[in-house]
Each structure stands twice: as C-alpha cells, then as structure tokens.
Amino acid sequence: MARKVPEINASTQADIAFLLLIFYLVSTTMNVDSGIYRMLPPWVENEQEENANKVNDRNLLKISINSRDKLQVGGKGLDVSQLKDEVQKFILNSTNDANLPEKVETEIDLIGKYPVSKGVVSLLNTRETSYDIYIQVQNELSRAVNELRDALSMKTFGHKFIDLSSDQQKAVTSAIPNQISEAEPRVK
C-alpha cells in the first residue's frame, strides 16, 4: 500500500499572495506618460545673430498670445478652435496667394515632386500667458500638421501617417515640415 504523503497546508499561500498584490497595487501607476514633442533651437550666444537669417514676411505666420490668454493670428483675433484651419490654410496656400508662403518644388524620395511650403509659424507669448493656453496652441499646431500629413499619406501611400514605414514617414515629414519658431517672450 502506498504511503500517504502528508498534505502541505496551503491556506497561508493566499495571504502571501495578497501581501504582494497589495504592494503592487499601491506602488503601481497605470498611466503611461505622453506628451507633445518639440525640438528646441540650439543655444546661440547672441540672439541678434539668430535674426540674421530672417524669413520673408509672407512666409511667416505670427501667433501671439497675450497675458489674458487671447490669441492674435496674423494681426486678427482668433479663437483657439479656429487656429487649426488658419494654420492649414497658411501652410497649404492652395490658391498660390502672394501673401501666403512660397512653395518650392522639391524632389522627395517615394513621393516625387512636391511643393514644400516655406511657411514658418512664429509663436510669441508673454511671461503672464498661462501654460494651459500655450499647450492648447501647441496642440492645435501639431493637429494642423498631423492632419495634413495624414491627408498626404492617404493620397500617396493609402495609409494613415502612423501606419507608414519609417522611410515613408520621413518622406512625408520632409514634404510637410513642422516649422515653429518661438521667440523670446516680451518682457512686460
């Protein structure tokens, strides 16, 4: 007759597991951080030198946010919700308006000839501007560019920008660059 193996009491196993579980419950942070990426311009000793490579007036869209979080785009007051369309109109310049940015026919791998806009968005804010509105504006600028990139990706590759291969993404990015220049805020 086989000898009976004495059973090990497993009732405390649950307690041990609970203890570990609670530890991880407490120390866990579920949300993965996400944010809006921006490249800062490299540091220059003399800010005046930077202005040496001045862009043509028509290639510049001036966005300024005042200390009461009101927006002014190219001289007229706008709401944040209208900003995206304004920026897209500026970048695309579909009517070849003389007041909107020039376009340069550029040969791009995978896409071919594409009129790349020379438009630069200039963002100016005061020191009293709130961070909230600043992020909203940055978000709208990203949204404008992302939508244009998506549209171009759909047209040339038949997929959204995010689903493209890295080479294709690079091509689309060079066709529609995201050019934002941030000036030193005015000291009030």
Partner 1 sequence: MAVMKKKGNKDTPTISTSSLPDIIYMLLFFFMVTTVMREVTLQVLVGLPVASEVQKLEKKSLISFIYVGPPTVALQKQFGDSPRIQLNDSFSKLGQVIDFVAAERDKLSESDSNQMTVSLKADKNVRMGIITDIKQELRRANALKLSYTAYKHKVK
CA–CA distance, 182 with 99 (Å, rounded to integer): 22
Measured from the CB atom, is 38 or 112 closer to partner 1?
38
Q: Quick one: angle between helices 80-92 and 131-156, nearest 10?
A: 40
Q: Please give the Cα distance from 42 to 22 (Å, whole number).
A: 47
Q: Identify the residue among 35, 54, 105, 166 touching partner 1 (CB under 8 A).
A: 35
Residue in 66, 177, 175, 76 with CA at minimum distance from that of residue 123: 66
Q: Which is nearer to partner 1, 14 or 104 (CB)?
A: 14
Size of the site for partner 1 (CB under 8 A): 45
Among 2, 3, 4, 11, binds partner 1 (CB under 8 A): 11
Q: How far apart are CA 70 and CA 52, in angstroms?
A: 30
51 touches partner 1 by CB under 8 A: no
Residue 85 near partner 1 by CB under 8 A: no
CA-CA distance, 155 to 174, in Å (whole number)? 16
The residues of the shown chain that bind partner 1, judged by CB under 8 A, are 10-11, 13-14, 17-18, 20-21, 24-25, 27-30, 32-43, 125-132, 134-136, 138-139, 142-143, 146, 182, 184-185
